[in-house]
């Protein structure tokens, strides 16, 4: 998405121009006993990884933990790959995951893979918090994810990928089981399993 197209879209959403923050807090999920039965909800697969935020500013990318620690040096290849995205300024939010040979999240490999150098890690990006001088946090998640998808759709890389969300619990369960072997966030396992 070009910078001009993004700016036009931001204005149409009613966002106000804003400087790129030096730091930003991730929006955290709320743990509940069971998924909502009504309303306009989306469901995501729970990935067993580290929450990471990426700040892109004029081609320079910094990667931070959810607590604000700078991990750019540890994840320099990821930072370089994200710097190639077609954005001048942005904050991305996602989960850094180590995948097993079967493609399943492997937290133990993630912990050992960061020292002394990263193993095959993947950054699953699920939110776009700031783009081209506009703070998107007040905008609905569905709209932010749509913008994120547009940013990432033609720029695939083995180090990062768009993290899907699902409109139905059934689809989230199927995807979680087939892709990760885990249940989706906020979706209880059915009785007898």
Please check the confidence at residue 110 and state whether its pLDDT lies above 50: yes
Output the average pLDDT for the chain.
Answer: 80
Note whether 76 and 99 are within 8 A (CB).
no
In this predicted structure, what is the pLDDT of residue 27?
A: 79
**Catalytic, out of 1, 43, 45, 46:** 46
Nearest-CA neighbor of 46 among 135, 151, 172, 154? 172
Domain ranges of the chain: 3-13+40-179
- Please state the rounded mean pLDDT for residues 6-15: 77
Provide the H-helix boundaries in the chain.
3-13, 76-83, 107-113, 141-152, 169-179
- Please state the rounded mean pLDDT for residues 150-157: 85
Superfamily of domain covering 3-13+40-179: DNA ligase/mRNA capping enzyme (3.30.470.30)
Annotation says 74 is catalytic: no
Three-state SS letters, the chain: CCHHHHHHHHHHHCCCECCCCCCCCCCCCCCCCCCCCCCCCCEEECCCCEEEEEEEECCEEEEEECCCCECCCCCHHHHHHHHCCCCCEEEEEEEEEEECCCCCECHHHHHHHCCCCCCCEEEEEEEEEEECCEECCCCCHHHHHHHHHHHHCCCCECCEEECCEECCHHHHHHHHHHHCCCCECCCCCCCCC
In this predicted structure, what is the pLDDT of residue 56?
A: 98
Q: pLDDT tens digits for 19-67?
A: 999 999 987 877 778 777 777 777 777 788 999 999 999 989 999 999 9
Q: What is the pTM of this model?
A: 0.81
Nearest-CA neighbor of 117 among 156, 84, 81, 78? 78
What's the full length of the chain, in residues?
A: 193
């Amino acid at each position: 998405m070009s910078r001009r197209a993004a700016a036009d879209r931001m204005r149409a959403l009613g966002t106000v121009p804003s400087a790129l923050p030096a730091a930003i807090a991730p929006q955290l999920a709320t743990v509940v006993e069971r998924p909502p039965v009504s309303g306009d909800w989306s469901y995501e697969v729970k990935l067993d990884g580290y929450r990471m935020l990426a700040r892109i500013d004029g081609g320079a990318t910094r990667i931070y933990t959810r607590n604000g620690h700078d991990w750019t040096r540890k994840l320099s290849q990821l930072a370089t790959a994200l710097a190639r995205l077609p954005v001048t300024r942005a904050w991305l939010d996602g989960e850094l995951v180590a995948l097993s040979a079967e493609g399943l999240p492997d937290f133990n490999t993630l912990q050992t893979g960061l020292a002394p150098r990263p193993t095959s890690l993947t950054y699953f990006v699920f939110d776009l918090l700031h783009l081209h001088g506009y703070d998107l946090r007040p905008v609905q998640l569905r709209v932010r994810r749509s913008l994120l998808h547009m940013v990432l759709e033609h720029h695939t890389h083995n180090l990062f990928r768009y993290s899907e969300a699902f409109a139905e619990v059934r689809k989230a369960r199927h995807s979680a089981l087939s892709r990760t072997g885990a249940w989706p966030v906020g979706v209880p396992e059915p009785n007898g399993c």
